[in-house]
Amino acid sequence: MKRNARFFAVRDFAACLVLAAVAPYASAAEVIGETTKQPTNWTAIIMFALFVGLTLWITKWAASRTRSVADFYTAGGGITGFQNGLAIAGDYMSAASFLGISAAVMMTGFDGLIYSLGFLVGWPFLTFLLAERLRNLGRFTFADVLAYRFRQTPIRIFAAAGTLVVVAFYLIAQMVGAGQLIKLLFGLDYVYAVVIVGILMMAYVLFGGMTATTWVQITKAVMLLAGASFMAFMVMMAHGFSAEKLFSAAVDIKGDRAIMGPGGFIKDPISAISFGMALMFGTAGLPHILMRFFTVPDAREARKSVFWATTWTGYFYVLTFIIGFGAIVFVSRNPAFLDADGNLLGGLNMAAVHLANAVGGNLFLGFMSAVAFATILAVVSGLALSGASAVSHDLYAVAIKKGKAGSREEFRVSRITTVALGILAIFLGIAFEKQNVAFMVSLAFAIAASANFPALLLSILWKDCTTRGAYIGGFTGLVSALVLTVLSDAVWVDTLGNPAGSAPFPYASPAIFSMPLAFAVIWLASILDNSARAKEERALFDDQKVRSETGIGAAGASAHGLELEPEPGDTAIQRI
């Protein structure tokens, strides 16, 4: 009893210190399932209002610094490696990661680590293969890298298609998750929650561009890391800072040592490998993550970005593992967090939220609820910006206007696209309220791994890769990932309502098939391409290699053969 009293006394005191200093089962990528509206949580609403007020002030400050297309897309390349690494972590650590992984660990134990590891181990690919080369070859989007030696129009159409499909699925999942999460945590109606997220997303991107988006993501990352650190600290303190005691307590409650071994979550090895591939290689193909490497001044800072992003995300995923086991001990058998049927209030994804209440009281619960909403805002802002840049820069300025669009004109298109994406996100978020959208983020990773990553990797590292190969192979990976996902249980049975066991594709993720298929088609189409254009592209590889590995010529941002000349007298971007 004395030990428990001491624990709760320290809990309350530490919660106050943290607040003063900082002021869906089955998938970490799964959005929050349908929830029941809860009583209005004014503590959470007030804390969230403070966060929104801070970020809107940041946006106002960023708007005064956004005077060019480069400022809007990449913050003028003035973000440091440390800042960018923290922003990448903020962009990457979604509410689904925080709530989904901890819920998966609470239910399956060790197997929940497949998400933590899958999300994390993709970063070495970015560190050693792509980060420096991306910064040296690109300007605004990853399509700039692909188009260095390839034909502009077809390759940018492919890159824009891959970006918009990934953004669309990711955005729908985040918007639906936001609505359900806020309905549960704040007691607001679903529609209001979705509209609030959509409006704030448009405000951040429209007025502040990449600068505002970056600082919103940094602010959110600091809040999330601080809150998760406090939760993990309190869980470990209650067990004498002994992981063995924590695991033993969890095993005693579960009554089964199987939670300390694999096999409780993804049953067949093909699905496990395929899902792991999607998470690992998809990270290196997510357009809103790749775009962040153009916000730093040089390749050295790009490498620093990945180092710090890997550090923060790795630390965060260790915390989610502790939080998951802490939820087993403090939440899973606590009547205060269970309904009459013995199920967790609000659903399994609320494990981390209930643990916040258990270790920090209602004040800390309000803080973590606001943090959960803030994570969604940060992610959707990055998605909207990457989608807008794909349309305005890749499609309009280069593919349609052939590089002759002025910066003011391009910026105008990006603003229109941002508004269109925001309205579309709100509409789709409301339309999909009752639908099972759990597969959408997993599909986004699978498409990024099957389309964007193979084309990007081979265009940089393989001399014989051609426009025809990258275009055909990239679209092959995109379409095959889409089709196989539709034919899987997640869509065929759970969404379309077909009988259980009738899905033509029996595995959890298509990546193990669609990604090798994309590589194979890129290789085959490239070696069969003997056109004069293909010979020119191969001849340009040595120049690309020097530029990518040395950075010579990368200081003055170019459109790689298609300079985007400003309109006469266009010295500053007009205000909105």
CATH number at residue 116: 1.20.1730.10
Instruction: Determine the pLDDT at residue 481.
Output: 93
Alpha-carbon distance of 569 to 483, in angstroms, equals 49
Is pLDDT of 184 > 80?
no
Closest CA to 45 of 370, 374, 377: 370
96 pLDDT tier (thresholds 50, 70, 90): low
254 pLDDT tier (thresholds 50, 70, 90): confident
Closest CA to 295 of 400, 213, 369: 213
Q: How far from 407 is each of 195, 368, 398, 558, CA to CA, in Å?
A: 31, 41, 12, 13
- Max mean pLDDT range (62-66, 117-121, 486-490): 486-490
Number of domains in the chain: 1
Alpha-carbon distance of 551 to 571, in angstroms, equals 27
Q: Are 32 and 177 in contact (CB under 8 A)?
A: yes
* Residue 528: burial class (beta carbons within 10 Å; 0-12, 13-18, 19+): exposed
Residue type, position 239, single letter: H
Q: Which has the minimum average pLDDT: 17-26, 148-157, 525-534? A: 17-26
- Tokens linked to 458: 């081979």
- Tokens linked to 148: 């260095």
Is residue 532 in a domain? Answer: no
Is pLDDT of 562 > 50?
no
- Max mean pLDDT range (69-73, 140-144, 375-379): 140-144
- Max mean pLDDT range (110-114, 187-191, 213-217, 230-234): 230-234
Q: Are 422 and 198 in contact (CB under 8 A)?
A: yes
Closest CA to 32 of 97, 110, 115, 113: 97
- Tokens linked to 285: 């193909």
Is residue 558 in a domain? Answer: no
Instruction: Determine the pLDDT at residue 163.
Output: 92
Q: Are 29 and 96 in contact (CB under 8 A)?
A: yes
- SS3 for 95-161 is HHHHHHHHHHHHHHHHHHHHHHHHHHCCHHHHHHHHHHHHHHHCCCCHHHHHCCCCCHHHHHHHHHH
Both ends of the chain: CA-CA distance in Å? 61
Residue type, position 183, single letter: K
Q: Which has the minimum average pLDDT: 17-21, 53-57, 64-68, 251-255? A: 17-21
Is residue 401 in a domain? Answer: yes
Task: Write down the pTM of the prediction.
Answer: 0.81
363 pLDDT tier (thresholds 50, 70, 90): confident
DSSP lists the bridge partners of residue 338 as: 344
560 pLDDT tier (thresholds 50, 70, 90): very low
Instruction: Determine the pLDDT at residue 12.
Output: 43
Mean pLDDT value across residues 165-179: 85
Q: Are 337 and 358 in contact (CB under 8 A)?
A: yes
Neighbours of 199 (CB within 10 A): 12
Alpha-carbon distance of 70 to 411, in angstroms, equals 10
Instruction: Determine the pLDDT at residue 480.
Output: 95
Instruction: Determine the pLDDT at residue 437.
Output: 64
Mean pLDDT value across residues 50-78: 83
Alpha-carbon distance of 243 to 202, in angstroms, equals 44
Is pLDDT of 458 > 90?
yes
Residue type, position 199, single letter: I
Alpha-carbon distance of 32 to 440, in angstroms, equals 12
Is pLDDT of 266 > 50?
yes
- Tokens linked to 351: 């494990």
Q: Are 75 and 81 in contact (CB under 8 A)?
A: no
- The residue that leads in pLDDT, 361 or 36, is 361
Mean pLDDT value across residues 3-21: 41
* Residue 463: burial class (beta carbons within 10 Å; 0-12, 13-18, 19+): middle
The HSE-up count of residue 572 (CA atoms within 13 Å, CB side) is 8
Closest CA to 383 of 215, 175, 178: 175
Is pLDDT of 58 > 90?
no
Q: Are 351 and 102 in contact (CB under 8 A)?
A: yes
SS3 for 200? helix
Neighbours of 363 (CB within 10 A): 16
Instruction: Determine the pLDDT at residue 339.
Output: 80
- The residue that leads in pLDDT, 175 or 185, is 175
Q: Residue 397 has what DSSP assignment?
A: I
Q: What percent of the chain has pLDDT over 70?
A: 86
Is pLDDT of 469 > 90?
yes
Q: What share of the chain is helix, strand, coil (3-state, %, to 5)?
A: 75, 0, 25
567 pLDDT tier (thresholds 50, 70, 90): very low
Instruction: Determine the pLDDT at residue 571.
Output: 31
Mean pLDDT value across residues 120-139: 82
Q: Is 497 left (phi over 0), alpha (psi -120 to 50) or beta?
A: left
Is residue 92 in a domain? Answer: yes
SS3 for 513? helix
Instruction: Determine the pLDDT at residue 521.
Output: 97
Alpha-carbon distance of 143 to 285, in angstroms, equals 11
- Residue range 341-355, pLDDT digits in tens: 778 877 777 888 889
Alpha-carbon distance of 205 to 418, in angstroms, equals 7
Is pLDDT of 570 > 70?
no
Is residue 545 in a domain? Answer: no
**Mean pLDDT computed over every residue of the chain:** 81
Measured N-to-C along each axis, helices 453-461 and 467-486 cross at an angle, to the nearest 10 degrees, of 160
Mean pLDDT value across residues 387-391: 90
Is pLDDT of 523 > 90?
yes
Domain range holding 75?
2-434
Alpha-carbon distance of 395 to 393, in angstroms, equals 6
Is residue 550 in a domain? Answer: no
Alpha-carbon distance of 464 to 49, in angstroms, equals 54
Is pLDDT of 115 > 50?
yes
Is pLDDT of 7 > 70?
no
Instruction: Determine the pLDDT at residue 13.
Output: 38
Q: Are 540 and 149 in contact (CB under 8 A)?
A: yes
Is residue 555 in a domain? Answer: no
Q: What percent of the chain has pLDDT over 90?
A: 26
Instruction: Determine the pLDDT at residue 368.
Output: 86
Instruction: Determine the pLDDT at residue 541.
Output: 92
Alpha-carbon distance of 232 to 531, in angstroms, equals 59
Instruction: Determine the pLDDT at residue 39.
Output: 62
Give the DSSP H or E segment for 277: helix 269-283
- Residue range 196-245, pLDDT digits in tens: 888 988 888 888 888 888 998 898 899 999 999 999 999 999 999 998 89
Instruction: Determine the pLDDT at residue 475.
Output: 95
Instruction: Determine the pLDDT at residue 457.
Output: 93
Helices first, then strands: H and E counts in the chain: 25, 0
Instruction: Determine the pLDDT at residue 566.
Output: 39
Alpha-carbon distance of 430 to 149, in angstroms, equals 42
Q: How far from 484 is each of 454, 508, 529, CA to CA, in Å?
A: 18, 10, 28
- Max mean pLDDT range (12-26, 96-110, 461-475): 461-475
Instruction: Determine the pLDDT at residue 232.
Output: 94
